Amino acid sequence: MIDQLRDRLRQTGFTVDGVFGLLGADAHHALGRNETTPARRATADGSPLATVVRLFQLQLSVPRDDAERALPGLVDALVAAEVLAVSGGEVRALVDVRPYGDEGHDWWVVADLTPGLDQQPVEVGSEHVLGISEASNSLAQLTRRDPVARALDLGTGCGVQALHLSTHADAVVATDVNPRALWAARLTAALNGVDVDVRDGSLYEPVAGERFDLITTNPPFVVSPPSEERLVYRETSFPGDDVVRRVVQGSADHLEPGGWCQVLAAWVHADGQPWEERLSGWVAPTGLDAWVLQREVLDLASYTEMWLADAGARHRPDYVEQYDRWLSWFTEQGVEAMGFGWIQLRRADRAVPSVRVESWPYEVVQPMAPHVTAWGDRTDALADGDVLDRAWRQADGLVQDTYGRAGASDPERIVARLTSGPCRTASLDTVEAGLVGASDGDLTAGQLLEAIAGLLGEDASEVRERYRPSVRTLVEEGFLTP
């Protein structure tokens, strides 16, 4: 049945481009905002593609005849598989199936029905399986895509990360604790004809004793007061942000040499302890290289409002009571704010691991994956001898802005600016600007500094020593690459 369904969805044109073509840009964007009205108007003709969109994306009942025309010979089997339900002469979907893709693939992802369409109250049960979210997209763009032997998608949910992993890993294992997520992830994999080993269990329990070249995870990191009504897609029974600490620390036993663990994460700022110190403390026992990038810090009121809205609590009679309960609990726990960000871990087996923990709340141009790889390459290069003895290259896409009085012959300020990944800037003096400008992988940084010293009439060895820390910083921040 699943092979027939795949063939039929393809024949109807139920792909990202096909649906976009049917709906048009405005209705497509409205649907992205959970508004179905423009899409209803664009799918009123009863054609097979319109019927499939109405069923699986707009959550509309369609006449059985239309459903039979769109999915010939499949309706009864899909009812038996609990994908569709029939009532009277009408058919409706019990799950959301949506086209999804990357540059080279057209896929479908199966998840629970999207809550809160058309301003309806959000109702989600504890075992709700979240569809593709902003967080899923962000993790997908963060994940390195080099070919690997074994990859793990920890907390697979609808199975979207596993689909991406299947494009560059020989074997993919996906885990979850939610039986409904295991069902959805298996269905997603089967519908796309992709081989994923979906396993039941918490964190690394289902992969005890196994190692991977790549672990990718968007764990349920919402920090909330204990409750009977825990939403498994976002919360665990681990206290506070301990789920993220466990993911980080557990990865050390499951990475092959050279392997990576890439985590979308949140952490508390608590008890007056600098967050950098807390995160460094998580990483230290692992012996892994780490790059922790905090993207955002939310105050507790904004954080509480966001997650109460996510659970549909906003319009409930006890909203104020719940809001107060969250804030009281944060106070009791010593939580002061919540940080969100990305944790990259890499098994480099160094005597002294390289750990970089930083805040970058500014622009990031996705995809980040190449910049994660580049961080690894720079870390290796920096660990390999004197920074002045190596020939560096200017990073791709590095541009320079100069500031000064209009018409002045020399700029007052030179700023180097990266135009992809974290779009960092660095204010450069004349020597640094000369060094970056001349770094084309030919002469070493030391040779370039000596030449610049000669041009400026300064002592070469003094210039070398003075600029050694700047060269290191320019490499650490990605302006120069090996």
Ligand X SMILES: C[S@@+](CC[C@H](N)C(=O)[O-])C[C@H]1O[C@@H](n2cnc3c(N)ncnc32)[C@H](O)[C@@H]1O
Site residues for ligand X per CB under 6 A: 130, 133, 136, 139, 154-157, 160-161, 175-178, 181, 202-203, 218-220, 232-234, 236
Smaller CB distance to ligand X: residue 181 or 255?
181
- Count, in order, helices (H) and strands (E) of the chain: 17, 20
The residues pairing with 198 across neighbouring beta strands, listed in sequence order, are: 174
List own/partner pairs for 435-440 with CB under 8 A and 24 or more apart. Answer: 435/467, 435/471, 435/474, 436/394, 436/398, 436/400, 436/474, 436/479, 436/480, 437/394, 437/400, 439/391, 439/392, 439/393, 439/394, 439/480, 440/393, 440/394
Helix (H) or strand (E) holding 96: strand 95-102
The residues pairing with 415 across neighbouring beta strands, listed in sequence order, are: 401, 427
Closest CA to 167 of 144, 135, 201, 190: 144
Distance CA 310, CA 122 (A): 8
Smaller CB distance to ligand X: residue 233 or 275?
233
Q: How far is the CB of 53 from ligand X (least distance, A)?
A: 22
Residue 52 contacts residue 70 (beta carbons within 8 Å): yes
**Both structure tokens of 217:** 């995870």
Distance CA 221, CA 238 (A): 10
Residue 269's alpha-carbon distances to 109, 298, 334, in angstroms, are 35, 10, 9
Q: How far is the CB of 124 from ligand X (least distance, A)?
A: 12
Residue 471 contacts residue 382 (beta carbons within 8 Å): no
Q: What are phi and psi of 342, to 5 degrees?
A: -125, 135
